[in-house]
């Protein structure tokens, strides 16, 4: 049976904005240490993150609040999330791709697996021209982006749409996401899952490869 590796983008394929505060501060001319919220790396430092984890606000609500906050620090008014991402990371998007996940993507592709991205905000965060600026996405058979579908994980219809485009049963697909509630949604849809640990990306990639029946080691 053909299998598929289904990946969230932010946090799984790319490093999180929590991990790149130093890059953001340099890009925006902010003093080192200005950005203190750390999300999953230090929930105690981030009450807003805890609100999202408790489902009292959505992921988009969280990032819109951070967008406005960082825009004010930069002396500007930002009302679009892609402004934050693009200003923080500049034009070199490839520089924030996780090498461990990149290796796993190539291993899965070489092993005959289909590849899919299932994201809540791919083009919303990075802009409509993003896919042309990141050749890596050309390796993927399916990209399902709630920017356009309006079906946010963990809505079961988001997983159903992705499975339909892959043309595979849920049990043949390994879904990887750093958000527990999205992983739970994939489990309810019948997919195999990996709750991606942003602090231990290599371990999570190995787990996904093992579920796909692929041997190998990520660095």
HEC string for 113-131: CEEEEEECCHHHHHCCCHH
Structure tokens at 62: 């969280």
Helices (H), 74-166: 81-89, 99-110, 122-126, 130-133, 146-149, 156-166
List, in order of start, the domains of the chain with CATH numbers.
Answer: 4-15+94-211 (3.40.50.1000), 21-92 (no CATH)
- Whether the predicted model's global pTM rises above the 0.75 cut: yes
Residue 47 parent element (H or E): helix 47-53
Alpha-carbon distances, residue 42 vs 38, 59, 61, 89 (angstroms): 5, 17, 19, 22
- Residue 91 pLDDT: 65
Helix (H, G, I), strand (E, B) or coil at 194: strand
- Residue 200 pLDDT: 95
- Residue 161 pLDDT: 98
Length of the chain: 219
For the chain, list residues with pLDDT below 50: 217-219
- Name which of 1, 34, 3 is nearest 166 in CA terms: 3
- Residue 72 pLDDT: 97
- Name which of 79, 35, 38 is nearest 60 in CA terms: 79
216 alpha carbon, distance to own chain's centre = 23
In whole angstroms, give the CA distance from residue 59 to residue 68: 15
- Residue 140 pLDDT: 98
């Amino acid at each position: 049976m053909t299998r598929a590796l289904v990946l969230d983008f932010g946090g799984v394929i790319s490093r999180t904005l929590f991990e790149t505060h130093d890059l953001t501060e340099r890009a925006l001319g902010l003093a080192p240490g200005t950005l203190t919220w750390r999300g999953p790396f230090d929930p105690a430092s981030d009450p807003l993150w805890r609100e999202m984890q408790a489902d009292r606000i959505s992921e988009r609500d969280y990032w819109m609040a951070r967008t406005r906050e960082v825009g004010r620090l930069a002396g500007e008014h930002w009302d679009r999330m892609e402004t934050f991402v693009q200003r923080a990371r500049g034009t070199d998007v490839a520089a924030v791709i996780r090498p461990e996940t990149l290796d796993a993507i190539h291993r899965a592709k070489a092993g005959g697996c289909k590849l899919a991205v299932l994201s809540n905000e791919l083009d919303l965060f990075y802009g409509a021209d993003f896919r042309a600026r990141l050749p890596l996405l050309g390796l993927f058979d399916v990209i399902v982006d709630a920017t356009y579908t309006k079906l946010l994980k963990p809505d079961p219809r988001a997983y159903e749409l992705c499975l339909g485009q892959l043309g595979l049963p849920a049990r043949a697909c390994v879904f990887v996401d750093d958000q527990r509630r999205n992983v739970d949604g994939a489990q309810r849809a019948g997919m195999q899952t990996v709750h991606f640990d942003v602090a231990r990306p290599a371990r999570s990639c190995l787990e996904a490869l093992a579920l796909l029946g692929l041997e190998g080691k990520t660095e």
